[in-house]
Amino acid sequence: MISDLFCPLQIRDVRLKNRIVLSPMLTYAATDGWVNDWHFMHLGKYAAGGCGLVFMESTKVDPRGCTTPADLALWDDRYIEPMIRITEFIKAHNAVPGIQLSHSGRKARQSRPWEGRGPLPADTSLPGGGDWDLVGPSPIPHDAQHGTPRELKRDEIAGLAQAWAQAADRARRAGFEAVEIHGAHGYLIHEFLSPVANQRTDEYGGSLENRMRFAIEVAAATRKAWPEGKPLFFRISAVDGAGWEIEHSVELTRRLSAVGVDVIDCSTGGVANYTHVATSPDIGYGYQVPHAERIRAETGVMTMAVGHIIHADQADGIVRSGQADLVAIGREMLHNPNWPIDAAQKLGIEPGFAHVPDAYGYWLEKRARSRFPGRPSTWQRGIDARD
């Protein structure tokens, strides 16, 4: 059977073996910004489980931008080498390693979710040491419980755009093949886009044109620093419930595409509410997919859909119908790290186990043949095709 979900996708010079993406998910497991064995285990199992693209979680371009003291860092060269072990493992299992680069802005300096996700005291030390200066586009706190950020100066804004560019270059040296700029969920770039969080009166505030300026500058600087042949993703909150609407996202997508962004990752929320993660029982499967579909249809730019994508036929239908080019799966992948293997069997993909490591594929195929005597070895056909 032919499945659109398992069709390869070429983005610039990078080829994904399928359309299944591990969504970048914060695990809050770093110490002073460093990756460790947790991250190796966490990301490696999704490469072995059959994902085409495996994103490392939100990794900070500036120490002030850490959501918690346990965030990952890429604001200094010293963080590069430990990441190489992870990217090499992902590549060795025929998956593409990606990394999301971010700054949390006024939503920085918090405790981890299972510790209450509350604001930390102003005298808390940054990961790696130093004073934790809370910054944002305007001196407006996220809510009454959070600290008031210091308004960024114009020269600081330019410096932050370069911080993304420098982090992207470090990502290249660490072996990553895709970069995603996090411009959603009420974090710094989204704060500049938002008429609620951004009340500046200079060229970075006021009109839609001005509020988009920082996002476009970050994307342009990152594209310049990132190899021409490697894809650049940009995550947006397509709608946020606080003045940013889908029409604005369509316009932003056109501007981002013009400076070299290849894929728009379509999420929602994060400004009006504390969290972007939907918890209402009224929200169904794929509730954010229509945003990816509209942006793709109106701009011609590739999109990635995310949000309650659970089932194999659901994910395949999203790609087959042209609603999105990629599906990003997060919490369902936490539940089942071998989701792509399971999806391939449910969709009847042939050869059945050739897209996963031989140490898995051989035994899974053997078990399948024992249950269905006389079945030809689809695993071997896949190995022959690779050779």
Question: Do 295 and 249 form a contact (C-beta atoms < 8 A)?
Answer: yes
Task: Match 């730019």 to its residue by tokens.
Answer: 301
Give 200's Cβ-side CA count (13 Å radius): 26
Q: How far is CA 329 from CA 28, 85, 337, in A?
A: 19, 24, 10
The token pair at 334 is 């936490």
Question: Do 68 and 31 form a contact (C-beta atoms < 8 A)?
Answer: no
CA proximity to 262, closest of 298, 303, 290, 221? 303
pLDDT at 385: 46
SS3 22: strand
What pLDDT, in 10s, does the model give residues 28-84? 999 999 999 999 999 999 999 999 999 999 999 999 999 999 999 999 999 999 999
Whole-angstrom distance, CA of residue 5 vs CA of residue 325: 9
Q: How many helices (H) and strands (E) does the chain have?
A: 12, 13
pLDDT at 359: 86
Question: Do 169 and 253 form a contact (C-beta atoms < 8 A)?
Answer: no
pLDDT at 144: 87
CA proximity to 139, closest of 125, 153, 149, 130? 149
Residues in the chain: 387
What pLDDT, in 10s, does the model give residues 337-370? 999 999 998 998 876 677 778 888 888 888 877 7
Q: Count CB neighbours of 291 within 10 A.
A: 26
The token pair at 335 is 């539940």
Angle at 129 between CA 40 and CA 163, to 5 degrees: 70
Phi-psi region of 290 (alpha: psi -120 to 50; beta: other; left: phi over 0): alpha
CA proximity to 45, closest of 344, 350, 360, 379? 360
Helix 312-320 to helix 339-346 angle (10° resolution) is 80
Q: Count CB neighbours of 336 within 10 A.
A: 14
Amino acid identity, residue 145? Q
Residues annotated as catalytic (active site), given as ranges: 187
Whole-angstrom distance, CA of residue 269 vs CA of residue 267: 7
Residues of the chain short of pLDDT 70, as ranges, are 1, 272-282, 351-352, 371-387
How much is the pTM?
0.93
Question: Do 341 and 50 form a contact (C-beta atoms < 8 A)?
Answer: yes
Q: How far is CA 4 from CA 9, 17, 347, in A?
A: 10, 11, 10
Cα diameter, the chain: 73
Is the backbone peptide bond immediately before 24 cis, with ω within 30 degrees of 0? no
CA proximity to 39, closest of 20, 58, 52? 58
